[in-house]
Structure 1
Amino acid sequence: MAEACRLLEVQPQTVYAYVSRGKLEVMPDPADTRRSLYRAEDVAALARRKQAGRKHETLATNTLFGVEPSIPTSLSSFHRGRLYYRGQDAVALAGSASLEDVARLLWDAQQPVDFGIRRAVRAGKPGRVAAFTALAALAAGGHSTRGRLTRVLHAEAQSLVGQLADCFGAQKAEQPLHLRFAQGWNQSPQVAELLRTAMVLLVDHELTSSAFTTRIAASTGASLPACLLAGLSTLSGPLHGDASGRVQVLFGEVERLGEDQVITHYLSSGLPLAGFGHHLYPDGDPRAAALLSLFEPPPAIARFIGKATELTGLKPNIDVALAALVAHHQLPADAAFGLFATARSVGLLAHGLEQLEVTQVIRPRGRYVGRMPEATQGVRP
């Protein structure tokens, strides 16, 4: 108790309050049952939040850039280095659940979810150009989410995900989405299972930048396709949902030059290796571990992953696993982003639907740091 009070700079009663609110885990001291032990990680996290400052300006800035959560959500969370969808372990769900099952869970839908295509929208070659073009057309003529029943919005959300998958090459059929992707990409049922697992692992990741963008659009009453387009546009950045594209470039270098030369070049130059390490998973990304355990990457890539992990101490994240899956089964060039975008569209739509429960428009304030305005000159009559 004394050590916890010293680190947190609080009185014992405040520590008890942290325990009662679930912010601090406590357990009996095996050596002395009259004493209690407090989880070191919880104490450290609370201390960091206190150090972040209590001033309004500091809190507002930190909230925007992710030091503190800023929007209440019951969709997904992190606990002890694991990802949970509405309290259910995402890796465990990926063992058997389909994307449709997880959509029903996150959307809190009363009926089973079906991503079957109702009408064709794809024009041209499958890929992100077709996907964004189709979604932009739907957004341009979409109806506001305000004043519409939830079941109607769920039906529209189902159609959006199905059409997005079609734009990335999924077969038009009345089947679960992972089977439609496998058929569209000429893959076996065994590969379809890997696609199912990958998509379930990618559905949501708490309040990401793309989820925040989706919520901003939803708070204004924008249509569901407009909300999804806003979120996917943010997701398309190489530092977010298209990070697997950076890994694919890295894998291309490995196949051309060999893993030793690539690792030597990056590490001797002080360049980070894309796809290794994740600030939310200091002990390793459990999503990547789950997916990589189901197949063996191509030999050169497998050696590269092993050596990179050994030399950096950083484990591969989900972007490495997704890029390795695409390389192993020679999926289309844009398949990694297609799987990510389609799966995450379920989560983005969940964020948009959840935001509709709040009536206020999300409107952050700017903190002006530029040149001060000049004094207004008087005007003679």
Structure 2
Amino acid sequence: MSWLTAEQALTLLGTKSQTLYANVSRGRIRAKPDPADTRRSLYFTDDVKRLATRHAGRRKTEAVAAEAIQWGDPVLPSALSTVFNGGLFYRGQNAAKLAERASLEDVAILLWDMKRPLRLEEGEMRRKLPSLNAAFSALAERTTTDLPSLGRSLPALQGEAESVLATVADALAPGSADKPLHQRLAVAWDRPDAGDLIRRCLVLLADHELNASTFTARITASAGATLSAAALSGLSTLTGPLHGGAWQSVRSLIARAATIGAEEAVRSYLAEGRPLPAFGHQLYPDVDIRAEALLRCLTLPPLFAEVRDVGEQLVGERVNVDFAVTAMTHAFHLPEDAPLIIFALARTVGWLAHAMEQATSGRLIRPRARYVGPPLQ
């Protein structure tokens, strides 16, 4: 990622230094100390350029909206989570600090704004292994029988959210309801020693602003659909290779490194013009705090460590959470699809939180399309 000096940023923005500092304090432009002179700051180029374009005063509303939908400015209000100054926060609380002690159930209580302990009912499936297919089937079955979300009180929705989470947990973390979800997963995979890292993963992956699956869940809820339908739409989106399926690209990179060596594998990706999987993140110009929080507690398998070191040196980006979760899966000999199972279980809490927030707002999310087709007849 590229950075600008204050002089360069001010030239692009065409404003005074006070305006630049104000935009930094409001989180619109990310800044970091200049390694060459810690008394000075550098400013994230993409943030400066985006703001400079906005301030040009010649853009139409549709252009602003189009940019906002792709890693741009916030598009709707939410009290649930935000990425700010390199940190991830759930209702104002630092997610990395929460991961040191909290469980996914604790995060559900926080994000759902509940005033009582979480109660997850015993499931009926009694399956032995986590199954994504079972989660899809169970949610799909509920969508036709659950009540619509619109016009219901928050306590009523919270009670239903518990039930939906219990349904997903029964499929993805089978086990007794009196055990925390991370323990249920660890036992289901017969890896009790992985329990604490699974817990940390679940907390760190519970929510992440308006990512693709969460935005999908909010759109579903905005139409008044059931909470189970919102969770199902989020789960469907999560399976994409650019979202929850990113772990597969990491595995492919590691497999190539195992065959031809870490440095040659990284160089071959770059020579082919392909982005290196799981390095860098648009919202974290320095380091993905979720990856950092996990890697502090994990000894990387040797090949993963070598790929990380070579990749960070050649690309100039730090590994992100997809790399960390895939490395954890390998280190503890978890099933190949463990990253997606963990991701789906964790993010169900976030999807439900956003669905409830959207439903209680009473607003339909209905953007317009900017027509670029053949001339109208």
- Distance in 1 separating the partners of 2:273 and 2:45: 33
The match for 2:36 is: none
Question: In the alignment, what sits opposite 1:81?
Answer: 86
Distance across 2 between alignment mates of 1:245 and 1:22: 36
1:333 matches 2:340: no
Tell me, in whole angstroms, the C-alpha distance in 2 between the residues paired with 1:43 and 1:263: 26
1:83 match: secondary structure: strand
Mapped contact 1:218–1:356 kept (Cα < 8 A): yes
Cα distance, 1:24 vs structure 2? 8.1
Confirm or deny that 1:41 pairs with 2:60: no
Q: CA deviation at 1:16?
A: 10
CA-CA distance at 1:148 after TM superposition: 2.4
Structure 2 length as normaliser, TM-score?
0.86
Maintained 8 Å contact 1:228/1:348: yes
Aligned to 1:212: 215
TM-score normalised over the length of structure 1: 0.85
Match of 2:75 in 1: 70
Alignment check: 8 A CA contact 1:117 1:172 kept: no
Counterpart residue number, 1:371: 374
Give the SS at the match of 1:41.
strand
Q: Which stretch of the first structure deviates more once superposed, 77-86 or 264-273?
A: 264-273
Deviations 1:177-208 (A, max 9, x none): 111111111112x4111000011111111111
- Is 1:139 the counterpart of 2:135? The answer is no
1:367/1:123 Cα in 2 relative to 1: closer, same or farther (>3 Å)?
A: farther
Q: Which residue of 2 aligns with 1:266?
A: 269
The alignment partner of 1:326 has SS state of: helix
Note if 1:302 corresponds to 2:305: yes
The answer to whether structure 1 residue 344 and structure 2 residue 347 are counterparts is yes
CA contact (8 A) 1:121 1:163 kept: no
Gaps of 5+ in 1: 26-36, 375-381
- Residue 356 of structure 2 corresponds to residue 319 of structure 1: no
1:167 and 2:175 matched: no
Counterpart in 1 of 2:106?
Answer: 101
Distance change (3 Å), C-alpha of 1:291 and 1:42 = closer
The aligned counterpart of 1:230 is 233
> More deviation in 73-82 or 58-67?
58-67
Note closer, same or farther for the CA distance 1:260–1:339 as it changes in structure 2 (3 Å cut): same
Larger RCO, structure (CA 8 Å, separation 6 or more): 2
Q: Do the aligned partners of 2:10 and 2:20 also contact (CA within 8 Å) in 1?
A: no
Matched, 1:244 2:247: yes
Conserved 8 A contact 2:222-2:358: yes
CA distance in 2 between partners of 1:21 and 1:276 (Å): 27
Judge conservation of contact 2:153–2:360 (CA < 8 Å) in 1. no
Q: Distance between the aligned counterparts of 1:304 and 1:42, measured in 2?
A: 26
In structure 2, the CA distance between the partners of 1:268 and 1:147, relative to structure 1 (3 Å rule), is: closer
Secondary structure of 2:83's counterpart equals: strand
Task: Judge which range, 353-362 or 215-224, deviates more.
Answer: 353-362
CA offset digits 1:91-130 (Å, max 9, x no partner): 111011111111111111111123x343324779632222
Report the counterpart of residue 30 of structure 1 in structure 2.
Answer: none
For 1:310-365, what per-residue CA distance to the aligned partner results, in whole angstroms no more than 9, with x for missing partners? 22222110000000011111111221100001101111111111112322211111
Q: Distance in 1 between matches of 2:94 and 2:127?
A: 38
Out of 245-254 and 312-321, give the one that drifted further: 245-254
Identity between Structure 1 and Structure 2 (%): 40
- Once the two structures are overlaid, the 10-residue window that deviates more, 89-98 or 171-180, is 171-180
- 1:360–1:247: structure 2 CA closer, same or farther, 3 Å change rule? same
Q: 1:265 to 1:364 in 2, by over 3 A?
A: same
Q: Are the counterparts in 2 of residues 123 and 130 from structure 1 also a CA contact under 8 Å?
A: no
SS at match of 2:76: coil
For residues 77 and 20 of structure 2, what CA distance do their matches in structure 1 show?
A: 24
Asked whether the equivalents of residues 122 and 134 of structure 1 are also in contact (C-alpha less than 8 Å), the reply is no
Is residue 201 from structure 1 mapped to residue 208 from structure 2 by the alignment? no
1:20 and 1:340 map into 2 onto residues whose CA distance is: 32
Q: Is 1:179 the counterpart of 2:183 in the alignment?
A: yes
Residues 1:100 and 1:40: Cα distance change in structure 2 (over 3 Å): same
Q: 1:40 to 1:254 in 2, by over 3 A?
A: closer
Number of aligned residues: 359
Secondary structure at 1:142's aligned position in 2?
Answer: coil
Judge conservation of contact 2:238–2:245 (CA < 8 Å) in 1.
Answer: yes
Give distance in 1, aligned partners of 2:305 and 2:80.
34
In the alignment, the residues of structure 1 paired with residue 278 and residue 73 of structure 2 have an alpha-carbon distance, to the nearest angstrom, of 25
- Match of 2:100, as an amino acid? G
Contact 1:170–1:182 under 8 Å retained in 2: no
| SS of equivalent to 2:89 | strand
Change (3 A) 1:110 1:62: same
Match of 1:33 in 2: none
Query: Could you say if the C-alpha distance between residues 43 and 74 of structure 1 is closer, same or farther in structure 2, counting changes exceeding 3 Å?
Result: farther
